[in-house]
Amino acid sequence: MGKIILEANEIYKSYANGRNKLNVLTNFTIKVHQGDVITIIGESGCGKSTALNIMSTLDQPDKGKVKIDSLDISKLNDMNLSKIRNQKIGFVFQSHYLLPEFTALENALMPAWIANKDDKKSAVENIFEYLGILKRKDHYPSQLSGGEKARVCLTRAIINEPLILFADEPTGNLDKKNSEKLVSLFQKINSDFNQTIILTTHNKELADFGNKKLILENGVLT
């Protein structure tokens, strides 16, 4: 078991629902070790995305602490949080969020450019070849299939060699064949690069991909 690289302790999160308060996370607690593949399963609306957003610094809890690489992120200013996101976190979104005016190669290079790493082109091309999309590197998102977009998004997420790769319902917009391919790629990245992965899904078959399978229900992780 590797070292602990993320801790979320007693996380609470709620949202206003008219005059009422909707409790989304209640005492959400988790420890993540280097090399873990953690799948969090739950019904739609159970708070999976909220939990992922809080762990990945995209949202703040009402109460509780998140530590990434031993750093309490609640004590970081916006500039340092941005550095954490760029250097230690990769994120695969269900909707990909590729920039339409940039090629697949350019989209995958965005995090490296932000980090002033101008020598990552060959690294992206190597990952594209590894993922089977090198011939599509100069195509724009509108010219790519859903499965190809997912692989570009995955490349963008890992190009800066993050501590943790977060994936929020990554197969949600893919057909069964492309979903299976993407899961296989996650498995290869974990085994070949010891990449830590936290993935949310409502698909029980996809949840079996993790070596740690957790259930989020009524705001509580079990």
Residue 185's CB is within 10 A of a number of other CB atoms, namely 18
3-state helix, strand, coil in the chain (%, to 5): 40, 30, 35
Q: In this structure, what token pair is assigned to residue 72?
A: 């309490």
**Which structural domains are found in the chain, ordered by start?**
4-221 (3.40.50.300)
Q: What are the φ/ψ torsions at residue 41 (nearest 5 degrees)? A: -110, 150
pLDDT of the residue at 1 = 67
- Collect all residues with Cβ–Cβ distance below 8 Å to 39 and sequence separation of at least 6: 199, 200, 201, 206, 207, 208, 209, 210, 212, 213, 214
pLDDT of the residue at 28 = 92
Give every residue of the chain whose pLDDT is below 50, as ranges. none
**pTM, entire model:** 0.88
pLDDT of the residue at 210 = 82
Instruction: State the alpha helices, DSSP H only, in 62-213.
Output: 78-88, 104-114, 121-131, 146-158, 176-193, 204-207
Amino acid at the residue 46? C
Closest CA to 100 of 47, 140, 65: 140
Per DSSP, the three-state class of 101 is: coil
> Cα dist. 129→85, 115, 158, 180 in Å?
26, 23, 14, 19
Q: In this structure, what token pair is assigned to residue 30?
A: 């988790």
The pLDDT tens digits of the residues spanning 175-185 come to 788 778 888 88
pLDDT of the residue at 186 = 85
Are the CB atoms for 43 and 202 separated by under 8 Å? yes
SS3 labels along 105-120: HHHHHHHHHHCCCCCC
- Collect all residues with Cβ–Cβ distance below 8 Å to 199 and sequence separation of at least 6: 37, 38, 39, 40, 166, 167, 168, 170, 186, 206, 209, 210
Are the CB atoms for 112 and 120 separated by under 8 Å? yes
Closest CA to 69 of 164, 142, 204: 164
The pLDDT tens digits of the residues spanning 33-71 come to 999 999 999 887 788 889 999 999 999 999 999 999 999
